[in-house]
Amino acid sequence: MLFAGTDTEGVAAGRITVAYRRWAEPRVVAGRVYRTNAGRIEIESIKEVNPDLIADTDDDLTLADRRNAKDVRRRLRGDESLPTFLIRFHLVEGADPREELAATADLSGEDLDELQAKLARLDEFSRTGPWTTKTLRLIESKPATRAADLAADLGRDTAGFKIDVRKLKNLGLTQSLEVGYQLSPRGIAYLSTL
Q: Tens digit of pLDDT for each residue in 52-92?
A: 999 999 999 999 999 999 999 999 998 999 999 999 999 99
Span 138-188, pLDDT tens digits: 999 999 999 999 999 999 999 999 999 999 999 999 998 889 999 999 999
| pLDDT (mean) for 97-107 | 86
Residue 110, classified by CB atoms within 10 Å of its CB into exposed (0-12), middle (13-18) or buried (19+), is: exposed
The domains located in the chain, with CATH, are 6-91 (no CATH), 97-192 (1.10.10)
Torsion angles phi and psi, residue 130, rounded to 5: -55, 130
